[in-house]
Amino acid sequence: MSSSEPGAGEVIEEALVWQPRMRGGRILYLTDWICSRESELSRLELDDDHVTFVLHTPSAAEGGDSVPMERSTDNVKCADVNELNFPPGSFEMVVGAWILTCLSDIQAHDFLHRVLEWLVPEGYFVFREACDFHEGPRHSNSTLPRSVVSYCQMLHSVSVGSSGFTVLQAKSLLSYITYEGDPVKICFLARRSEEGSATQHAVDIRYSESFILKLEWLLGHTWVSTGGESTTREFCQRLGLQPGQRVLDVGCGSGGSAFFMSRLYGVHVHGVDISSNMIDLAVHRQTHLRRTQRKRLQFEMRDIMDADYGDCSFDVIYSRNSILHITNKEELFAKLYRWLKPGGTLFVTDYCLGSAPTSRPLADYMAKSSMSLVRVRDYVRAAARAGFGLVSEDLGDKFYNIQQKELDDFIPTQEAFVQEYSQEEFEEMVTVATNKLTWIKTRQLTWASFCGRK
């Protein structure tokens, strides 16, 4: 292994940091690595007698050869995962390392179904894979690496009775980013639950790749927030960003602000978003950046309300038009306050309710878009209860001018847009933008910035 690559132990230790702790629980560990040194295997076992290790070795029927292990015990064996079976409810956690890439789509679906059966209720499935962004149709027997979205969709599609997988997290492994500038080695965390991934699935439907790309048509490539690069440039000038600082981008979207800050200021940005399509696009675009910039970026699919990054982890926390989806803003601000270093900066822009009563069309739009809007003063009060003294600025007039310019620039692209999408979708985009202008002008809706230090 090259000195520029992370060691097996380093990768495993990173993955173990954020996966659930199994105190005495039964764990199944599946890998395609040949662990020839006893010391490495011992590190994998974590001194836990409850861990069963299986080295994936394709059967002779698949054209594979048996791979000898230096050590064989009841808890360590070679097997083809396509033929592996355990009784239902055998494990509290199943861990997979570079297994699914070896399987065709049909084999992978069958394997995930069996994993779901092997898990106890609320048990966890953790797996690491090299993701790719292969464009075009896949053959069902293909073993090409899959995208983040593809893995999430595969997990969503599996069920046993009323149980399914809830996808909790997908994150690029920092060890590979640091050593190689490689963001496509990604760790996933899912849980067996009765509710399945209904919430996550709804998010992915609402923020489909098509919807995101249509937003970018209006706002600019990689941008899904008001004003795109122009407002980002203006706001970042207020933050005093310095090379080497750590920034948390809450609701990072398809990567625009993270790419901008890492490129212009040399900061390290951790972008988190609940949408797998947003993260899929961000990671894909990260692969096309210069190596030095790739090393300053890490993207994660996760509900920010379930996250915990540790006290005093970031110099700056930044969020653009995303906290509007969070109902319990006070709880979120308490998390952000704890994660921010002393003297660190919180900067947020968000849609807010204006001074005029909310009309039925705006209420319907908020419900359809899962928005939980509050007035500017209520936003400041929620942050104050968490410890922040935020300075707010109502940007309603600026909001109107930006929205009008974006619409004026979008309308002449009708012919090209319709060729890519449809006339109906073009008209829908125009209608939404026009409605927003009406709500802003009548003071039902506004846009505000919030800035404070810890």
pLDDT digits (tens, 9 = 90+) for 11-41: 556 656 655 665 567 888 888 765 433 434 4
- What's the mean pLDDT in 236-244? 96
pTM: 0.90
Q: Is 3 strand, coil or helix?
A: coil
**Best CA proximity match to 437, nearest among 369, 362, 350:** 362
Share of the chain above pLDDT 70, in %: 83
Q: Is the pLDDT of residue 320 over 60?
A: yes
**pLDDT for 60:** 40
**Best CA proximity match to 190, nearest among 218, 153, 222:** 153
Report the C-alpha gap between 152 and 277 in whole angstroms: 10
**pLDDT for 9:** 57
Using the structure block, give the residue that is written with the tokens 């970026």.
Answer: 297
The residues with which 320 forms a beta bridge, in sequence order, are 349
CA 14, 17, 21, 26: dihedral to nearest 10 degrees? 0
The torsion region of residue 268 among left (phi > 0), alpha (psi -120 to 50) and beta comes to beta
Tokens of 180: 């190689």
113 close to 88: Cβ distance less than 8 angstroms: no
For CA atoms 237, 243, 246, 252, the dihedral sign is: positive
Which of 121-130, 269-278, 411-420 has the least mean pLDDT? Answer: 121-130
- What's the mean pLDDT in 282-292? 96
Using the structure block, give the residue that is written with the tokens 């001194």.
Answer: 47
Report the C-alpha gap between 219 and 214 in whole angstroms: 9
List CB contacts of 442: < 8 A, sequence separation 6 or more: 354, 356, 359
DSSP 308-336: ---TT-EEEEEEES-GGG-S-HHHHHHHH
CA 114, 11, 204, 432: dihedral to nearest 10 degrees? 180
User: To 5 degrees, how large is the angle CA 149–CA 154–CA 157?
Assistant: 125
Residue 299 CB-half CA count within 13 A: 33
Q: Is the pLDDT of residue 225 over 90?
A: yes
For 308, other C-beta atoms within 10 Å of its C-beta total 10
Say if 8-203 and 207-453 have the same CATH topology: yes
184 close to 283: Cβ distance less than 8 angstroms: yes
Fold (topology level) of 8-203: Rossmann fold (3.40.50)
Question: pLDDT per residue over 67-82, tens digit each?
Answer: 444 444 556 778 889 9
Report which residue type is found at 274.
I
Taking only Cα atoms into account, the Rg of the chain, rounded to an integer number of angstroms, comes to 24
Q: Which element (helix H / strand E) includes 341? A: strand 340-353
CATH number, domain 207-453: 3.40.50.150
145 close to 249: Cβ distance less than 8 angstroms: no
Q: Where in 131-184 does DSSP place strands (E)?
A: 159-160, 163-172
Question: pLDDT per residue over 362-410, tens digit each?
Answer: 999 999 999 999 999 999 999 999 999 999 999 999 999 999 999 999 9
Report the C-alpha gap between 243 and 232 in whole angstroms: 18
Q: Is 116 strand, coil or helix?
A: helix
Report the C-alpha gap between 403 and 393 in whole angstroms: 18
- What's the mean pLDDT in 313-341? 97
Tell how far CA 305 is from the center of its chain.
13
Q: Where in 159-230 does DSSP place strands (E)?
A: 159-160, 163-172, 185-193
For 84, other C-beta atoms within 10 Å of its C-beta total 16
Spans of all domains in the chain: 8-203, 207-453
On the 0-12 / 13-18 / 19+ scale of CB atoms within 10 A, 318 is buried
Tokens of 237: 């000038």
Q: Which element (helix H / strand E) includes 268? A: strand 268-273
